[in-house]
Structure 1
Amino acid sequence: VEKDCWFNRTAGVWIGRMDVHSDAIIYNHTTHSWQTVGTGQKACVKVIVNYKFGNWHHGIPMDMSDVLASIGFYWDWAYNDTETFDVGYHPYIEDYYADTMAMIKGIRILNETAMEVYHDYVFIIDDNVTAAFGVFWPTVPWEVRTVMEYCVVNGGPATGKTYDWSEDYSAFGREEWVDMINPMHVLDFERAAEMINSTQATGWFMPSYVVLTGTPYAGYTPSTDDCIARWEALMDWIDEYGHICVSNGPYYMEEWDPVKRYMVMKAFRDPTYPFTPDEMATMVPEDYRVQPAKVAPPPPPPPPPRRLLWVGVGVGVAVVIIIAAAASFMLRKRG
């Protein structure tokens, strides 16, 4: 992490002195597209993020388009671009992400697994916290987020239900809080995925969050074949598992029953998984790790019961007395 800034006591903010590279990009939530920042932009911090990608649970390899989609999505939904209610805006997302996204001053793609992020967040106590602000890690592939977004914007194509991103869905005039495992919602997700893929719907088949046309990074835009592979993988996943919980962690949900209320999690044994068991262990603070159980040695045999011991001693004494008496008798007889 690199820092170059000063603190404005009057305004109570950090002022950046670091030049943002002119070919860095930001997501324009008004035009719904990525664009270069140009010259003259300043930032407080520059951090280089190196990613370790593997396959998503449905077999599609992770790539930079997933990272960019997770950034662009929040940049888009955190801001209301019209005088009336924007269908691509949500107050809850604004509350959580608008201030964060405003601090991002530019992003450069260095290669297929590395990204350079410029931002204005400074945590003076710990540079690790400062650097972490610029780390974006996608937890779902972009087609999963897109199919939910489609239903939030357009309603469910199978059920006709209206969806919202928040638990206060009724306050926004919606019928359902979007749920990745609700069987009724999954019907809409599946139908939406089929429609998007079959018609290659503009803005959905290849969402604007992953389109880098017109920027220095146009080569990182997914191809048509890449998009088809993703949508087909998602539909196959829904057919097999009945939900859209596709992620990249060490476990995936193989089965669940909302009536019986049970869930089966299965280890994700894909050879591309980027972390070994030893690496995973180091990610957990030592005080919270489950230590392997130690096998105790077998206990010693129990001592004989006290009563039997005294019997044994008594028998021994009696034998000695008998032998001594016999010897005395023999001596008297010989004499």
Structure 2
Amino acid sequence: MRILLILFLAFSFGIIYAEKGTYINEIQFIQYLDESNALEEVKNGNLDMYYSRIPSELLETPESRQNLDVFYVTGGSYSILVNPAEGDNLNPFSNQEIRFALNYLIDRRLVVDELMGGYGIPMASNYGPYDPDYLLILSEIEKFHFRYNPEHANEVITKILTEKGAQKTEGKWYYDNKPIAITIFIRNDDPVRKSIGEILSSEIEKIGFVVHKDFGDLNKAYVTVYGSNPSDLKWNLYTEGWAGRSAFVKYDSLGPAQMYAPWFSNMPGFNNPSYWNYKNPHLDDVTQKIYSGNFTSMVERENLIRDAVSEGVRESVRVFLASKIDPFVTNKRIGGVINDFGGGITNRLTPINVRSNDDDLKIGVKQIYQGAWNPIGGLSDAYSKNIWDLLYDPGIFKNPYSGENFSVREIWKVETAGPHGRLDVPHDTIIWDPVLQKWANVGPGVKATSKVTFDLTFGNWHSGQKMDMNDVLYSMYFSSEWGSSQTENDKTFDSAYSPQASQSQKTLVGMRPIDDHTVEVYVNYWHFDDSEIAGWASAWPVIPWEVTAAMEKIVLDGKASFSRTDAQAKNLNWLSLVVPRDSSLIKETLGEFQRTKYVPAALLSFDNGAQYYDSRYASAIKWIERKNHAIISNGPFYLETYSPEARAMTIRSFDDPSYPFEAGYWGKFEKVNLPKITQIDIPSQIILGQPLEIPILTSNATQIYYFVSTGAGDEIDVGVLDVNQNAAKITLSAAQTQKMIPGGNDLKLYAISDLVLKPDIYTTSVFAISADSQNHTETIIQNSSKTGKTENLGLVSVILGIIIICIVVYVRKSKTRLQRQH
């Protein structure tokens, strides 16, 4: 389930066994820090693609795009992480109102238009405009009326600091006769984030704070921001960047928890038990309900998301600025690129499906190594994740355009009595008992909300060993053992991993192996989409049990930790299977297992035989000796080499008769028909208090979400229109247009389809005038005509003409801005 080692997702097809699952034999990932250098290398063919955004100004002319295909990738974002801790010195951001004031201090439109070259959209929450759940929370976000307003931010900050006893002298804030200093950690390996940091520093200085700028990359951020005790105040603000998900997600259960809730180990303190930690019981409760399916209807889930996002925005420990629309490039000779709406071209399907004139592929990356490689508490940065995603096959994955689960190597059948009913659980269903350290039957009379039967498409591990039910059992054991409630002197607890695993473990009723490739999983989990139940209950392993067992022993012996947070708390190494020191530890531990004929407790009650265990240990040891790393998985590629000196990694096609997918199998995802708004008819001006109809024409769309608000952000109307024969119509009553303000009012349209959830976004202005203004204008014109003062009529006509031209120009500019984003 997410009861596995990591939260990777999945669906179902007929399986064709093939000897080669990719067109490419070898992929080399090479570090290129400089985007302009990488762009030239892609142009001249030394690189085939680059796994990082290219600044838009480098792609403005036809000549600059020569030999290139440009793909626009959505899903990423920029944010500010705020330190809310109290320390020895005054930290203004320990106050919620001051944190919230940052939303008015940062000019999001400037960030998009100037720093991002127009390739983005302002955002105020964890959901950007291209996320399916965005339309659920848009009305809530609009209620905050976020506009760049530094005067308002200054008023709020002045009020709070004065109440705390601070004084402002000659434009500078002092507390206890010392200047109030703010340290901003600025990522200087990303030009946009560097500029965001500079602008933020300037705004903070204007408020009256002394600003210290600390520049660095992700490795330094791991130490200074994510690795230090927040109460030490080594940082106050941090310019974060998010590369998007590994795949597009229709129902996002993780986002609100990951970005706002303390329990998920991604908020200041990061659940390090020796550090100050941000706490918010309400956010924990609401986001855990979203994450673990603790709702009884789609409407209840939507309300939970609105609650979580609204509270997260109010708390403003993480302040979102802009959703990215990033240009990515490939050389024109490369075919078969799949541009996932969440993961972009760096999603796992692209390298598996790409075609080239050569058998090899060279991909430039911004960083080659920024964090530990282990599938328990590592592989947490985009750089490592993009490569790791090619080395394993998920049981279930996401459709790149609809975000729905589909089967990869787990064919499922869901039975559910939820949300209110219960199913009988067979008495011989087993569950891991962390106290007795053995599998136990659940016994008679046990009930569960849902049952998922998985037919598992096993193959060989990269080491040559066959996957089997022991791998599934050990994965289930691990998440149950490490996700169980922490007891005194409990060593099977990781401060980052265990709180997440516990949410899955709490819902697991048990599992029941049926034969050597079929297993039933019983869970107290429900979702209105059966495929989400299958995704939650997934029983698919991504590394062999013997490697997990070796990692576990190393951690229990105090030689390393699974997660960065736990490593920092215990002053240990963060376990990384590609680092020679750690892979040697894995090899030594496997050798000890082999010499002592060790059988893990999780496999003791199953009849495997001594030869089976010896063969497993020997194969893994041989792999580590040959490859100098301990990454063993089951995907279409395997890791051949990692060279820190050359800043490169090489992966090779796993050409094995047991691999179930032939080359080109995923080509079905190469093409997509995007919904489009093709025409909208809005009068040049409307009369307040008169009904209004706005006809809309579309293509490839099934629904239109619309939002009408005043220029000040007050909601007038919100609705969803079904598209019939490519047409729809917004109808506003006289009472609704009466709520508009004279001048510009805002209209936002989002066209989507059932199969493609990336909306076409259209924003424009509706110019309104009062009936009195119209009558007054008509009177002027009539009187001018009667008296023969044609010069006045001419003047009025010119004025009216200028007004109409300005309106048209404004509307056209608004439309052009949004079209540029598609």
TM range (shorter): 0.7 to 0.9
Specify which of 611, 614, 630 is matched with residue 225 of structure 1: 611
Partner residue of 1:5 out of 418, 421, 439: 418
In the other structure, the counterpart of 1:98 is: 502
Match of 2:309 in 1: none
1:208 to 2:601 alignment: yes
Q: Does 1:19 align with 2:424?
A: yes
Contact 2:449–2:523 (Cα < 8 Å) also in 1: yes
1:286 Cα deviation after fit: 4.6
Give the deviation of 1:255 after TM superposition. 1.2
Task: Find the aligned partners of 2:430 and 2:556 in 1 and give their Cα distance.
Answer: 26
Distance 1:115 1:272 in 2: 20
Q: Does 1:143 align with 2:546?
A: yes
Distance change >3 Å, CA 170–CA 135, structure 1 → 2: closer
For residue 259 of structure 1, what is the aligned residue in structure 2?
645
Write the distance in 2 (CA, Å) between the matches of 1:245 and 1:38. 38
Do the aligned partners of 2:494 and 2:566 also contact (CA within 8 Å) in 1?
no
Percent of aligned pairs sharing the same letter: 30
Aligned partner of 1:272 in structure 2 is 658
CA distance in 1, matches of 2:509, 2:566: 32
Give distance in 2, aligned partners of 1:229 and 1:149: 20
- Unaligned segments of structure 1, at least 5 residues: 8-15, 156-161, 289-335
Q: Does 1:38 align with 2:443?
A: yes
Please point out which of 536, 541, 546 is paired with 1:133: 536
> Is 1:74–1:93's contact at 8 Å kept on the other side of the alignment?
no
- Return 5+ residue gaps in structure 2 as ranges: 1-413, 674-822
Q: Structure 2 CA distance, aligned partners of 1:263 and 1:38?
A: 50
- Return the offset for 1:4: 1.5
* Matched residue type, 2:586: F
Label 1:67 to 1:170 Cα distance change in 2 as closer, same or farther (>3 A).
closer
Amino acid at match of 2:590: A
Higher strand fraction: Structure 1 or Structure 2?
2
Question: Following TM superposition, by how much is the alpha carbon of 1:101 offset from its aligned partner in structure 2, in angstroms?
Answer: 1.3
| Residues 32 and 208 in structure 1, CA contact (< 8 A), matched pair in contact too | yes
Q: Is the 8 A contact 2:463 2:619 kept in 1?
A: yes
Specify the code of the residue in structure 2 equivalent to 1:258: P
Residue 327 of structure 2 is matched in structure 1 by none
Other-structure match for 1:179 = 576
Q: Is the 8 A contact 1:26 1:35 kept in 2?
A: yes
1:51 is aligned to 456
Q: Which amino acid aligns with 2:495?
A: P
Q: How many residues align?
A: 260
Q: What is the rounded CA distance, in whole Å, between the counterparts of 1:273 and 1:280 in structure 2?
A: 14
CA RMSD of superposed structures (Å): 1.8
**Does residue 591 of structure 2 align to residue 194 of structure 1?**
yes
1:287-298 maps to which residues of 2 (within 5 A)?
A: 287=672
Q: Which amino acid aligns with 1:76?
A: E
Q: Per-residue deviation at 1:173? A: 1.4
- Go from structure 1 to structure 2 and tell me whether the alpha carbon gap of 1:270 and 1:112 turns closer, same or farther (over 3 Å shift): same
Q: Does 1:87 align with 2:487?
A: no
Deviation at 1:132, TM superposition (A): 2.1
* Aligned partner of residue 168 in structure 1, secondary structure: helix
Cα drift, residue 285 of structure 1: 7.3
Quote the offset at 1:55 in angstroms: 0.4
| Alpha carbons 2:465, 2:616 under 8 Å: kept | yes
Q: Distance in 2 between matches of 1:279 and 1:30?
A: 46
1:239 and 2:664 are equivalent in the alignment: no
In structure 1, how many angstroms separate the alpha carbons of the residues matched to 2:570 and 2:449? 41
Cα deviation, 1:85-128, whole Å, max 9, x if unaligned, reads 3112223222111121111112111111101111111111x111
Conserved? CA contact 2:560–2:567, under 8 Å: no
Counterparts of 1:76 and 1:48, CA distance in 2: 23
Q: Is the 8 A contact 1:108 1:116 kept in 2?
A: yes
- Aligned counterparts of 1:6 and 1:252: Cα–Cα separation in 2: 42
SS in 1 for 2:427: coil
C-alpha distance in structure 2 between counterparts of 1:141 and 1:72, whole Å? 13
Q: CA deviation at 1:168?
A: 1.8
Deviations 1:19-77 (A, max 9, x none): 10111011111222111100111011111100000000000000000011111101001
Deviations 1:259-288 (A, max 9, x none): 221111100001011222344445x57549
CA deviation vs aligned residue, 1:291-324 (integer Å, no higher than 9, x gap): xxxxxxxxxxxxxxxxxxxxxxxxxxxxxxxxxx
Q: Which amino acid aligns with 1:253?
A: L
Q: Do 1:106 and 1:117's aligned partners in 2 also have CA atoms closer than 8 Å?
A: yes
Please report how far the alpha carbon of residue 6 of structure 1 lies from its aligned counterpart in structure 2 after TM superposition.
Answer: 4.4
Q: Which residue of 2 aligns with 1:73?
A: 478
Higher mean C-alpha displacement, 50-59 vs 99-108: 99-108
Compared with structure 1, are the counterparts of its residues 5 and 228 closer, same or farther at alpha carbon in structure 2 (3 Å cutoff)?
same
Superposed displacement of residue 81, structure 1: 5.2
Question: Aligned partners of 2:489, 2:656: CA distance in 1, in Å?
Answer: 44
Asked whether 1:118 is paired with 2:513, we answer no
| Structure-1 separation of matches of 2:540 and 2:563 | 22
Out of 136, 142, 164, which is 2:561 matched to?
Answer: 164
Cα 1:106–1:59 shift into 2, 3 Å: same
State the one-letter code of the partner of 2:596.
T
Which residue of 2 is the match for residue 313 of structure 1? none
Contact 1:65 1:222 in 2 (8 A): no
Q: What secondary structure does 2:491 align onto?
A: coil
3-state SS of 2:537 partner: coil
* Change in 2 beyond 3 A, CA 1:190/1:24: same
Partner of 2:348: none
Contact 1:250 1:267 in 2 (8 A): yes
**Based on CA coordinates, which of the two structures has the bigger radius of gyration?**
1
How many angstroms apart in 1 are the aligned matches of 2:620 and 2:594? 10
Distance 1:285 1:117 in 2: 34
Is the contact made by 1:164 and 1:172 (CA closer than 8 Å) also made in structure 2? no
Residues in 2 aligned to 1:110 and 1:167: alpha-carbon distance in whole angstroms: 38
Question: Amino acid of the residue matched to residue 565 of structure 2?
Answer: D
Taking the aligned partners of 2:471 and 2:666, their CA distance within structure 1 comes to 22
